[in-house]
Amino acid sequence: MKIGLALGGGAARGLAHIGVLQVLERERIPIHIIVGCSIGALIGGVYAQTRSIAAVKEVAARMLKSEAVEKMGLDFMSEEGLRLPKDAGIEDIFNYLKFHFSLIKVFNRPYFFDPELVDELFRFISTARIEGFPIRFAAVATDLIAAEEVLIQKGPLRDAVRASSAIPGVFPPLKKDQRLLVDGSSTNTVPALEVRNLGADGVIAVDVSKDIHRIGKLDNALNILYRVDEIASHLLTRQRLHAADVIIRPHVGHVVWADFDRMEELIQKGVDAAESMLPAIERMLGASPWMRRWRTVSKFFKGFLRK
């Protein structure tokens, strides 16, 4: 039985994917296929290449502690940065003005951050070719020119992750093979069907999307645009998840997309959610007698070695 994993997009919330992978590895649940979107492509790609949770954590930590992240100042680009608190201090006012004046950039060019800065951020991702990985891997991106979803299954991992993570208007699109590629979340938030189409018999999907019920005052055009985007993303995610056999939903929907400094907390959220869904995963695996015997034997030896 081939098990596939669909890792959804969600920026900082996607750090919970690490915790999910940690539990699946600990429980010896075999993963044969991984398809990721945005940060799901980053975490899933590194794991597909290395089969190592430690390697995934190292790459994520190095990226988040890099000078590139500090220069980007992603914290002031969060949705909360659109509003000035009533009890705002000097720092709050500075960040608020910094964000709004910085928006002027996008009226004269197609992205917020310079390509050189983005190159610096993604230099921690390997350039090894996807087709040589021990776990079959693919990343979802969106082609702005053809207006269609693109499944990247070949080429350097760094290019695949960059394309799948290129937030429209924020990171520069990736030009590749007559395509102009941006974040896969624009067309496919949780690529469960793609995992199925690549040959998985059982599909585990990890949804780290934002809580739809969170809503502030719709008192300006930007807030309304954010709300419309939330609704569209929510409905798209629901549709895509129909292809999954098991859906893992870490309790991270309330987390702001730029809260990357909560890495350990978010990883633990992934661990908790994956552990709560182990019975459902066991039922899915139960369709294979060979797999059931293997799980029983591996659990016995794992328990014996702990004694």
Q: Which residues are catalytically annotated?
A: 38, 183
Please state whether beta strands 202-206 and 246-248 pair in parallel, antiparallel, or not at all (unpaired): parallel
Upper half-sphere CA count for residue 97 (Cβ side, 13 Å): 7
Distance CA 21, CA 45 (A): 12
Got the DSSP string for 139-171? EEEEETTTTEEEEE-SSBHHHHHHHHH--TTTS
Distance CA 162, CA 255 (A): 23
Assigned token pair, 21: 């992978």
* Residue with tokens 């590194």, as numbered in its chain: 46
Distances (CA, A) of 57 to 21, 107, 141, 171, 299: 11, 37, 23, 23, 26
Contacts within 8 Å (CB) and 24+ apart, 175-182: 178/145, 179/143, 179/145, 179/146, 179/150, 180/143, 180/144, 180/145, 181/141, 181/142, 181/143, 181/144, 181/150, 182/141, 182/142, 182/144
